[in-house]
């Protein structure tokens, strides 16, 4: 089964926005029963493939991420498309699973024959498809927090990672712990690649910064109860325990933890910053606990304010503008933080194609070549172009003028492997039924360089 959505069509993802707090099983049932009939692509469309979790344990986020991509498609087409050719997106369900997601992803590549793929959220699935992407010399945009780290050079296939790696998130959490005088930490982490890696990087960074780690606990996601895991995790009496999980499983753990008397003190992993978590935990149960996510402030909106280069002050005008843009289009629904990166992933692909067509006479057939073009465009030496004025940006690119992208989530600058460089992380807490931003923290754990 797969699904293709276009602007104005009553897509399945709207159901997720309307009932985002439903448990995964109910979301999956509604999604499967209400999928629309497939329209065709616009004539001569440039098609971008999306592999997103519309069912399974991560189903609550799939529709929101797809809406960000659809919004980018609408904005790019309003800006003239690819020299008059429209962009379009075809989406398929990863089922929140490496095993079940592989076939839909292969179908995108071989049946739809898309040359540009955005997603998946599942780290293991992205790793499993890498040899096929390389063999096809396809382009792979990885906006998700859980995307695998990009640290290899190839002559075939192109990979770009937009969100910060677990290294950067772990560094930020460790620095917060040290700043707050925390002496000991451990983790309660899901046994999936992303959360397990985040747990490991946090512990490693904290020890490197002079702290002490205590035994950590892992768990299988999707269980009905976590009594044994909670007893194990908090039995060591660490000053802080990192909860590294996706929101539905995290909400089960937090609810059970609340009923057991709220032992210990949490740090909250980045995947937990969604309304899904708040809708499924007792109100106030996590008030005051601190988490870290990628900063959505632009680098030029942030300023170091002390000699030690540790205190950061950032404004959030750019992120707020995108939230407003998204909410107006999608009936006041708020984009998840990760949705900012998915919007940007589509725009970066379009910008690379437009510039290649203008300067080389054709869009690149090689994913490796497209990656090189996008890296070149986003050199700090080039004039900037904002997501808020894509019409001007696409006009200049069609004239062969190189532009670096100032997106909904970041100002992009890529390393030699195609990973975006991040300098700050956003800290936050919970008050009642809302997330509240705190001061950002600089990412300067140089012992990993």
Spatial distance between the Cα atoms of 219 and 190, rounded to a whole number of angstroms: 5
Q: What is the pLDDT of residue 307?
A: 59
Spatial distance between the Cα atoms of 235 and 249, rounded to a whole number of angstroms: 21
Q: What is the pLDDT of residue 33?
A: 32
Distances (CA, A) of 364 to 23, 106, 138, 139, 157: 42, 21, 10, 10, 12
Tokens for 86? 């429209």
- Chain-wide mean pLDDT for the chain? 88
Spatial distance between the Cα atoms of 425 and 287, rounded to a whole number of angstroms: 20
Structure confidence at residue 401 as a pLDDT band (50, 70, 90): very high
Looking at the chain, the whole-number percentage of residues with pLDDT higher than 70 is 88
Structure confidence at residue 211 as a pLDDT band (50, 70, 90): very high
Q: Is the pLDDT of residue 20 over 50?
A: no
Strand partners, 118: 50, 141
Spatial distance between the Cα atoms of 9 and 268, rounded to a whole number of angstroms: 36
Structure confidence at residue 1 as a pLDDT band (50, 70, 90): very low
What is this structure's pTM?
A: 0.83
Q: What is the pLDDT of residue 308?
A: 58
Q: What is the pLDDT of residue 7?
A: 32
Q: What is the pLDDT of residue 162?
A: 96
Residue scoring higher pLDDT (56 or 254):
254
318 phi and psi, to 5 degrees? -65, -45
Q: Is the pLDDT of residue 25 over 80?
A: no
Q: Each residue of 133-168: b (16+ CB within 10 Å) or e?
A: bbebbbbbbbbbbbbbebeeebeebbbbbbbbbbbb
Structure confidence at residue 418 as a pLDDT band (50, 70, 90): very high
Phi-psi region of 338 (alpha: psi -120 to 50; beta: other; left: phi over 0): alpha
Q: What is the pLDDT of residue 155?
A: 84
Cβ pair 137, 113 in contact under 8 A: no
Cβ pair 298, 44 in contact under 8 A: no
334-358 confidence digits (pLDDT tens): 999 899 999 999 999 999 999 999 9
Helix (H, G, I), strand (E, B) or coil at 17: helix
140-199 confidence digits (pLDDT tens): 999 998 888 776 777 899 999 999 888 889 999 999 999 899 999 999 999 988 899 999
Residue scoring higher pLDDT (17 or 222):
222
Tokens for 83? 């020299």
Structure confidence at residue 39 as a pLDDT band (50, 70, 90): low
Q: In 97-237, at which residue ranges do the beta strands (DSSP E only) sit?
A: 116-118, 139-142, 158-161, 184-190, 212-213, 217-219
Spatial distance between the Cα atoms of 246 and 295, rounded to a whole number of angstroms: 19
């Amino acid at each position: 089964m797969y699904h293709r959505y276009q602007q104005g069509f009553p897509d399945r993802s709207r159901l997720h926005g309307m009932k985002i707090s439903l448990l995964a099983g109910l979301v999956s049932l509604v999604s499967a029963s209400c999928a629309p009939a497939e329209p065709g692509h616009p004539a001569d469309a440039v098609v971008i493939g999306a592999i997103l979790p519309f069912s399974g344990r991560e189903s609550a986020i799939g529709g929101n991420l797809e809406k960000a991509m659809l919004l980018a498609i609408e904005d790019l087409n309003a800006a003239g498309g690819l020299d008059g050719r429209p962009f379009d997106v075809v989406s398929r369900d990863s089922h929140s699973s490496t095993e079940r997601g592989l076939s839909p992803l292969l179908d995108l590549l071989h049946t739809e024959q898309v040359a540009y793929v955005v997603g998946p959220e599942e780290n293991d699935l992205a790793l499993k498809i890498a040899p096929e992407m390389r063999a096809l010399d396809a382009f792979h945009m990885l906006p998700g927090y859980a995307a695998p780290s990009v640290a290899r050079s190839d002559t075939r296939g192109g990979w770009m990672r937009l969100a910060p790696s677990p290294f950067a998130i772990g560094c930020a959490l460790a620095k917060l712990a040290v700043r707050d005088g925390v002496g000991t930490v451990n983790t309660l982490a899901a046994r999936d690649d992303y959360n397990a890696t985040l747990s490991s990087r946090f512990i490693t960074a904290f020890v490197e910064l002079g702290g002490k780690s205590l035994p950590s606990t892992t768990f299988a996601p999707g269980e009905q109860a976590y009594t044994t895991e909670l007893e194990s995790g908090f039995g060591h009496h660490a000053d802080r325990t990192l909860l590294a999980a996706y929101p539905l499983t995290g909400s089960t753990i937090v609810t059970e933890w609340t009923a057991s008397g709220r032992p210990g003190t949490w740090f909250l992993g980045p995947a937990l910053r969604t309304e899904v978590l708040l809708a499924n935990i007792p109100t106030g149960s996590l008030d005051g606990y601190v988490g870290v996510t990628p900063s959505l402030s632009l680098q030029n909106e942030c300023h170091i304010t002390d000699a030690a280069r540790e205190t950061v002050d950032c404004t959030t005008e750019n992120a707020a503008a995108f939230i407003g843009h998204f909410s107006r289009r999608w009936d006041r629904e708020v984009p998840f933080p990760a949705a900012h990166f998915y919007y940007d992933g589509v725009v970066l692909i379009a910008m690379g194609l437009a510039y290649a067509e203008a300067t080389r006479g054709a869009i690149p057939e090689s994913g490796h070549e497209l990656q090189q073009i996008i890296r070149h465009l986003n050199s700090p030496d080039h004039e900037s172009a904002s997501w808020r004025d894509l019409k001007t940006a696409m006009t200049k690119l069609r004239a062969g003028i190189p532009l670096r992208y100032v997106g909904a989530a970041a100002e992009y600058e890529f390393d030699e492997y195609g990973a975006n460089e991040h300098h700050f992380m956003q800290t936050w807490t919970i008050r009642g039924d809302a997330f509240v931003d705190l001061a950002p923290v600089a990412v300067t754990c140089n012992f990993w360089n």
